[in-house]
Amino acid sequence: MVTLDDTVLTEAGLPASHQGRILLIACGALAHEVLALKRLNGWDHLDLQCLPAKLHLYPDRITEEVTKSVAVHQSTYSAIFILYADCGTGGLLFEKCKELGVQMLAGPHCYSFFEGNDIFLARSETEFTAFYLTDFLVRQFDAFVWRPMGLDRHPELRDMYFGNYTKLVYQAQTDNPELDVKAQDCARRLGLAYERRFTGYGDLAVEMARVAEG
C-alpha cells in the first residue's frame, strides 16, 4: 500500500523475490508525481520508497538517509535509482551514489529538473530574484515555508527574507485551478509578483523513462 506520510512508502503485494524489479528511492515531495508517472506509463516493475519530505529542511541529513535505505534494499533489487537531485547536499549525495554504485537525478534541485535542467540553467542568469514553488510546496506552503521560517509568529521577518526577491514562480506539474489560486495567495503573502509556469514533470519523466526502459 502506498501512503503519503512522512515515514515510508512501499507498494503493496510485492512478491518475495524482487528479481528484475527496480527500486526508486525518492524524496517524499515527489510521491504524487512519481506515482502519477508510474500509472500513466504502466511501469509496474518500478517500486517506490519515499524518504520524509521534511528532509529538505535538513539537507545535511539526506545523504545519510539515502545511504541507509540503499543498504537495506540493495541486495534484493536488480537496480536502485535515487530520485533526488543535489538538493543542498553540496555534492555529497552525488559522491555517495557513485560509491554505492547507484544513479541519481541530475541537477541542483527539483525546481531545475521540473523545468528541465538545460532550460533552468539558461534562465538562471535573469531569474536570480525568483522564488519557486512546485505543486507539493504550494500544497504544503505553511508547513514547509511559512512556519519553518517563523513568518506565522514574526510576519515582520518577511521583508528580511524576501526583500531581494521580485516574483514567485509557480512551476505547475498539473493543471489544477485550486492550486493556482493557492499559489497566487502564497505570492500575495510574500509580497511578490506572481507567475505561473506549466512545466509538467520535466526531466523527472525523462529520467524515469530511461530507468524503466533500461
pLDDT at 15 over 90: no
Res. 203: pLDDT tops 90: yes
91 close to 108: Cβ distance less than 8 angstroms: no
pLDDT of residue 7 exceeding 90, the answer is no
CA distance linking residue 156 with residue 158, whole number of Å = 5
Please state, in angstroms and rounded to a whole number, the distance separating the CA atoms of residues 110 and 116: 9
Note the pLDDT tens digit of each residue in 38-47: 999 999 999 9
pLDDT of res. 9: 45
pLDDT digits (tens, 9 = 90+) for 79-99: 999 999 999 999 999 999 999
Stretch 71-84: mean pLDDT, rounded? 96
Average pLDDT over residues 10-34: 78
Does the pLDDT value for residue 196 go beyond 60? yes
Report the distance separating Cα 99 and Cα 161, nearest Å: 37
Residue 5: the pLDDT is: 41
Between CA 113 and CA 115, with CA 114 as vertex, the angle to 5 degrees is 90
pLDDT in tens, 162-192: 999 999 999 999 999 999 999 999 999 999 9
172 or 125, greater pLDDT = 172
The per-residue pLDDT for 20 is 81
How long a stretch of residues is the chain?
Answer: 214
Provide mean pLDDT across the span 143-151.
97
What domains sit in the chain, N to C, each tagged with a CATH number? 22-110+201-213 (3.40.50), 117-198 (no CATH)
User: Facing residues of 167 across strands?
Assistant: 130, 193
Say whether pLDDT at 14 is over 90: no
Q: Are 66 and 51 in contact (CB under 8 A)?
A: yes
